[in-house]
A and B are shown apart, each in its own frame.
Chain A
Amino acid sequence: LAKTTQPISMDSYEGQEVNITCSHNNIATNDYITWYQQFPSQGPRFIIQGYKTKVTNEVASLFIPADRKSSTLSLPRVSLSDTAVYYCLVGAGTASKLTFGTGTRLQVTL
C-alpha cells in the first residue's frame, strides 16, 4: 500500500507560487501520482497526474524526482480561489485499497 504523507496545512499570499510536497516511499513501479483539489461541499477534482520527471498543464506543474519517492505540486501565482484541500494519491495496484491521505489545506489570503 503506497501510503502518502503531506503537510497538514499551508498559508500563502495571493500572487505567490505554492509548492506542496507529498512523500510516497513505497510507490510501486506501475503507480502514477495524481493530485486532486477539493472545495467545501464538493467532490475532489483532478488537477494533474504524472509518472516521472515533470508534467505541466494550464493550472499546475508536477515535479517527480528520479527515485519517485516524493512529488511536488506547484501552483503558480495562487489566488483566493485556490484556497482548498489538496490531495496526493498514489495508485496501489488493481487489487489494493486506495488511500487519499489527510490532504493539505491551503489558505490563500490577500
Chain B
Amino acid sequence: DAGVIQSPRHEVTEMGQEVTLRCKPISGHDYLFWYRQTMMRGLELLIYFNNNVPIDDSGMPEDRFSAKMPNASFSTLKIQPSEPRDSAVYFCASSISGISNQPQHFGDGTRLSIL
C-alpha cells in the first residue's frame, strides 16, 4: 500500500497568497484528518472527515482556513489569505474507521513557510 500521500512536501510563499495543500488517503479508509504541528502548540487537529463529510472543524483556527474532500481519494486544505503565523508542518492522516479505536496513518507532511 502506498500510504497517505501529501503534496507538496515544502511550500514557501509570500504573505497574502493562497496556499493549497493536498492529500490522498489510503484506499478504503473512511476517516481523514488534517493536523498542524508547531513548536509552540504541538500537534493540533484542525478538521476531520468521515466518508467525505466534514464532521468536526472546531480546530480550524480562522475563516481563512478551509478544507474539502470532493471524493474518497482526495482532500485539500486551503489558506486564503496566508499569514506568517500559518507557518507550520501540516499533516494529513487517515484511518479505516472510528476516532479512538483505530490507528491513524500519517503522511510525511507539508512544511509551509509564509514570508
Contact = CB atoms under 8 A, between A and B. Distances in A.
Contacts, number: 62
A101 B45 CA distance: 11
Nearest to A34: B103
Contacts of B99: 91-94, 98
A42 B105 contact: no
Interface residues of A, number: 27
Contacts of B44: 100
Contacts of A92: 99-100
B55 interface: yes
A71 interface: no
Q: Which 4 A-B pairs have the closest CB atoms?
A: A91-B100, A43-B106, A46-B103, A100-B43
Interface of A: 30-32, 34, 41-46, 49, 51, 87, 90-103
7 contacts: A42-B108, A43-B109, A44-B93, A44-B106, A91-B101, A97-B58, A101-B42
